Structure 1
Amino acid sequence: MVKCIPNIALLFTCPFFAFSVLFLPMICPVIVQGSETVRVADGGSLSVRQWDVIDLRFRGDEAQVRELANPVDVDLVATFQDEAGTRLSVDGFYNDGCEYIVRFTPPSSGQWSYETESSMSSLDGKTGTLVVESPQVGRRGGIVVDAKEKTRFQYESGDSYYPIAFECDWLFALDAGNESDIPVTRQFVDTLAENGFNQVVMNVFAYDVNWKKDERLTADHDYGSPSVFPFGGTNEDPDFSRLNIDYFKRLDRVIEYLDQKDIVAHLMIYVWNKRVNWPEADSEADNRYFDYVARRYQAYPNLVWDISKEALGYGHNDVGYISQRIERLREHDAYDRLVTVHDYSYCRRFVDKVDFVSVQLWSSELYGVMRKVRSDMPGKPILNIEHGGYERGPYVVFNGNYTSPEVCLERSYQCVFAGTYTTHYWQGAAWNAIIADIESLPAKVRPRLDYYRHMRTLADRFQFDQLIAGDKKSNAGFCLHDGKGKLIYYVPRECDFLGLRLKEFQGRTMSITWFNPRSGEYTESESQKIAQWPAVEVPSSDGFQVLIVQIQ
């Protein structure tokens, strides 16, 4: 029997506040904000902010819902229009009981009106108005490709977005069994945010790994084989005819908290090698799941889509299926969130179908390989989503080729200096084994996330996203520069001296500063006259260094 929710609610979520609006059927909406309650006439105006996520909740007729074979299949669309005539048609989704939601994020300020259309008469023809105020300070909208420089990202606000990503496939599972709160998720995400990460690569759902688990792995750190499941039944005994709405309600909390911490959810809709019992590809059940994910999460500004982790690596489907998924996703996503595919072979062959390119390249000489990708795909941002470095942790989960935290860092910097972006893996969080309380670990097994905090500080201070990569400005190492006198060099550990190629600045003075990417420390700046063949002595160090040159 369908249990109906007694009223309709409008729920706001953003990094700075959360409040709800209740619509009493046939009477009036009630805005609840803190201790204040403001009543407005039915169909009247509600005040919200640009780029805040708003849930317009509608109550379907109980008798009509009971008659449905599957309430998820009800068509519901709300068309929003601003005073300039801009229109946005957003799909709604079923939220259990008799409740349906249209999740809306206002793309601009001003007055927006809406009207619903639905295959269910009790949801059809609902109208209202939203008065959208300027965004809260720090709210910058969704992630887009920079219109002027298409190899870079930015926020809708125009501010730069420079991703430093972190893989955590099972992030959905940390509090999936907790009905009321997400304390473990908050603890873990807070640690990522404190260390400069602003993107998390995660699955909608994953079940378990195929490889042998470390015998030392304790149950409280193993999130594999979770009891939760996005469909009816369980992973072992699924009922694909229905979706588990509670599962998605709890996943909402994770995406929302990432949004509060200004972290992008790089959401992989499928994964083929983590023992998930998926419905048959392109079946009614498969399409229902896929469409539901698109409808439910499209409004989050902190979201980018990934069709599947390692999309073509396990024989589940072919390129035609992946292309069809992309087209289907774009049909449902009113906000045009960015789309990629966790498979370089697909991105390379169908580069026009993705908004940014995800590569998995483990080559030892990574800089040159990433420069080749950059050259081959000049009009797209490029993320090395898996460079083969899996920093070791207390448990052996998957070693890849490189486990030293220093080598993993070096490979990430090589991606950065190639003009591309990087993703970090730690074996204590990337897959089924997750240690959320990182600070409780002994120092000798604690991940060196501070290395990436230093990377974030350096990249922000010198605006790496505005620099040019690939030019030969020295006789060793790699360079990022702005073409005007700011040059940042990656200096390999092997270098004792570095010859600079600064012919256009000959006769001027340069200040040189050394940055230690492991400690985050800068040396005192020194001045040096630029001769015909300027050279600098490299300080003694236990690893690669970064040289900052600024022409005076």
Structure 2
Amino acid sequence: MSRQAQFRLLCFFFIGSPLYLIAQGTVASENAVEKWGVYEITLSGPTAGNPFTDVWLTAEFSSGEKKVKTTGFYDGDGVYKIRFMPEATGQWSYRTSSNVKALSGKKGSFTCHAPSATNHGPVSVRNMYHFQYANGKPYYPFGTTAYAWTHQPEPLQEQTLTTLKNSSFNKIRMCVFPKTYSYVEEEPALFAYEEKGRTKRPNGSTKYEWDFTRFNPAFFRHLEKRISDLAKLNIEADLIIFHPYDKGRWGFDSMGVKNDLFYIKYLVARLSAYQNVWWSMANEFDFIKTKSREAWDVYSKAVVEADPYHHLCSIHNGTEYYDNWKPYFTHVSIQNGSTVEDFGRAVLLRDAYRKPVIYDEVCYEGNLPQRWGRLSPEEMTETFWQGVIAGTYVTHGETYRTPGDTIFWAEGGRFHGQSPARIGFLRNLLEQQPGPVELADPWKDHQTCQSDSAHYLIYLGKQMPPEWVFSLPKKGAPPTGAVFKAELIDTWNMTITPVSDTFRLGEAKDYRVYDEGFKRIRLPAKPYQAIRLTQIK
């Protein structure tokens, strides 16, 4: 049998095989939860043997014609849990199933009531290229990066949450496993697995031996707490399931297919009921040399099939793009700084994949010697504008090495850069539009975007023309005689200045529509200017 056939057989056997044990259990749960909240069933059960591998537990939740099957998990100390995120109000009932008699056949019911004002539900794809919350509210991902923030000392984690609370970011890219990399060398307090032993290597470092069949519930409880903390701030947790920044220190990047799939099953069972979870299969998948390209299909399928709520799912690249058109992936997560360096580039990958595109890594604002860690604040802000006007999205990262402080991109902490405020200013501008923006004329005009025929943004970037001749792409423009007001936006200084003139559309000429008197707007001799146009008649 070929290695490829053996690989497929192993994956099929693991995903489909049952697990066995005998135990006792009781039910304890609340009887009400809000829509898109977390309803939790707690059962007491066996501790003998290995409950992680020997016991399987599921529940079917039903409300009228709606039925949702969820998978439970072992939480240590004889405690088993099943979590459910109700997506409809009303009365719900459930019944458990298990290979353990005392855990099987447990019944109960609860009421799902209307969500609170700040609970918008999970995010999903909207209109092919954009996103929205479950309640219909548009969601514009303005994310940041702190890969190993949950593996830092508790005071630093709390500082990170305070920083995020006072920022405009609504998504954070973060790793499940700890990271060892430039400027990130700390030993975490908690690990995902039960430790079997440790020895000292000749170089003085610690070599761990793990039992990959036994998870450390305390690690996952801590991760869940931080996900809940982010949810309270209306921040999406873009969870990176695998990454290449282990380098043999702990061995979590080379656990083998069977253990990888076992980890995926446990992770999704524990976390999928949290509304603000996104699945990122990997950061820089192509740099993880211990996993074949074929394996990512198996892993991605395992995540999607285990998640009853179909949370957003992507895979992030280093230098080699993955097959982002595959059905496992809801959107495209890209590392490529050149795509947002100038006009017209960002839209190309979106049109190729025909899915939402988030440029999750475009280099970082900072002062590191590496080329990826030394964008100026102006350059970082520019990437966001270039991404947004093209109908795509961009993720921030900060890599300032400040004496006595952490680097946010790696460990969290505090921001030192100047771009976060400017990025927040852009987010506010975008959210004032009636909907997501698209290039008004993607074939030729890569500076003008619109949310509809009455709302336009024109971004001039580094260009410093002395004036701008009022004109709009013909396609999608309102009829002759429509009147617009204009505002001059300084994207760096974060100011909005009304233009005294109004502008009335004349007859179309070729592919453009001009003011009937060919009026112009005088511009300051500064870069990073934009113009907002709003129809008033």
Q: C-alpha displacement at 1:367, in angstroms?
A: 3.6
2:134: which partner in 1? 156
Cα distance 1:357–1:430, how it changes in 2: closer, same or farther (>3 A)?
farther
Q: Deviations over 1:514-539 (max 9, x none)?
A: 12222322113422332364432222
Cα distance 1:139–1:483, how it changes in 2: closer, same or farther (>3 A)?
closer
Q: C-alpha displacement at 1:507, in angstroms?
A: 4.9
1:368: which partner in 2? 344
- Aligned counterpart in structure 1 of residue 524 of structure 2, from 530, 539, 548: 539
| 2:495 paired with 1:526 | no
Q: Find the aligned partners of 2:302 and 2:330 in 1 and give their Cα distance.
A: 15
Q: C-alpha displacement at 1:290, in angstroms?
A: 1.8
1:434 maps to amino acid: E
Cα distance 1:227–1:366, how it changes in 2: closer, same or farther (>3 A)?
farther
- State whether residues 382 and 421 of structure 1, in contact with CA within 8 Å, keep that contact through their aligned partners in structure 2: yes
| 2:466 paired with 1:488 | no
Q: Find the aligned partners of 1:411 and 1:167 in 2 and give their Cα distance.
A: 15
Q: Deviations over 1:7-57 (max 9, x none)?
A: xxxxxxxxxxxxxxxxxx86x8586xxxxxxxxxxxxxx122111112211
Q: Find the aligned partners of 1:333 and 1:251 in 2 and give their Cα distance.
A: 18
Any idea what SS the aligned residue of 2:396 has? strand
Q: Find the aligned partners of 2:480 and 2:386 in 1 and give their Cα distance.
A: 28
Q: C-alpha displacement at 1:399, in angstroms?
A: 4.1
TM-score normalised by structure 1 residue count: 0.80
| 2:278 paired with 1:308 | no
1:514: which partner in 2? 488
Q: Superposition pairs for residues 233-312 of structure 1, below 5 Å? A: 233=195, 236-239=207-210, 240-275=212-247, 276-278=250-252, 280=254, 282-312=256-286
1:97 maps to amino acid: D
Q: Find the aligned partners of 2:207 and 2:331 in 1 and give their Cα distance.
A: 35
1:76: which partner in 2? 57
Q: Deviations over 1:46-76 (max 9, x none)?
A: 1221111122111004xxx21x234354211
Q: Superposition pairs for residues 201-240 of structure 1, below 5 Å? A: 201-209=173-181, 211=182, 213=183, 224-233=186-195, 236-239=207-210, 240=212
Q: C-alpha displacement at 1:467, in angstroms?
A: 2.4
Q: Superposition pairs for residues 82-481 of structure 1, below 5 Å? A: 82=63, 84-146=64-126, 149-175=127-153, 182-209=154-181, 211=182, 213=183, 224-233=186-195, 236-239=207-210, 240-275=212-247, 276-278=250-252, 280=254, 282-343=256-317, 345-348=320-323, 350-363=325-338, 365-378=341-354, 380-388=355-363, 390-392=364-366, 396=368, 398-400=370-372, 402-428=374-400, 433-434=410-411, 436-438=413-415, 445-463=416-434, 465-471=435-441, 478-481=447-450
Q: Find the aligned partners of 1:472 and 1:500 in 2 and give their Cα distance.
A: 18
Structure 2 stretches of 5 or more lacking a match? 1-24, 199-205, 401-405, 504-514
Q: C-alpha displacement at 1:134, in angstroms?
A: 1.1
Q: Find the aligned partners of 2:121 and 2:378 in 1 and give their Cα distance.
A: 34
Q: Find the aligned partners of 1:328 and 1:508 in 2 and give their Cα distance.
A: 53
Q: Find the aligned partners of 1:356 and 1:262 in 2 and give their Cα distance.
A: 20
Any idea what SS the aligned residue of 1:424 has? coil
Any idea what SS the aligned residue of 2:424 has? helix
Q: C-alpha displacement at 1:449, in angstroms?
A: 1.8
Q: Find the aligned partners of 2:232 and 2:456 in 1 and give their Cα distance.
A: 34
Structure 1 stretches of 5 or more lacking a match? 1-24, 32-45, 176-181, 214-221, 439-444
Q: Find the aligned partners of 1:324 and 1:376 in 2 and give their Cα distance.
A: 24
Q: CA RMSD in A?
A: 2.7
Q: Superposition pairs for residues 4-23 of structure 1, below 5 Å? A: none
Any idea what SS the aligned residue of 1:335 has? coil
- State whether residues 160 and 414 of structure 2, in contact with CA within 8 Å, keep that contact through their aligned partners in structure 1: yes
Q: Deviations over 1:250-288 (max 9, x none)?
A: 111111100111100000101013435126454432222
Q: Find the aligned partners of 1:103 and 1:540 in 2 and give their Cα distance.
A: 58
Residues paired across the two proteins, number: 478
Q: Find the aligned partners of 1:358 and 1:539 in 2 and give their Cα distance.
A: 36
Cα distance 1:432–1:527, how it changes in 2: closer, same or farther (>3 A)?
closer
Q: Find the aligned partners of 1:90 and 1:69 in 2 and give their Cα distance.
A: 21
Cα distance 1:261–1:351, how it changes in 2: closer, same or farther (>3 A)?
same
Q: Find the aligned partners of 1:470 and 1:313 in 2 and give their Cα distance.
A: 38
Identity %: 23
TM-score normalised by structure 2 residue count: 0.82
Q: Find the aligned partners of 1:259 and 1:73 in 2 and give their Cα distance.
A: 33
Q: C-alpha displacement at 1:243, in angstroms?
A: 1.6
2:411 maps to amino acid: I
- State whether residues 201 and 267 of structure 1, in contact with CA within 8 Å, keep that contact through their aligned partners in structure 2: yes
- State whether residues 193 and 263 of structure 1, in contact with CA within 8 Å, keep that contact through their aligned partners in structure 2: no
- State whether residues 190 and 261 of structure 1, in contact with CA within 8 Å, keep that contact through their aligned partners in structure 2: no
2:471: which partner in 1? 501
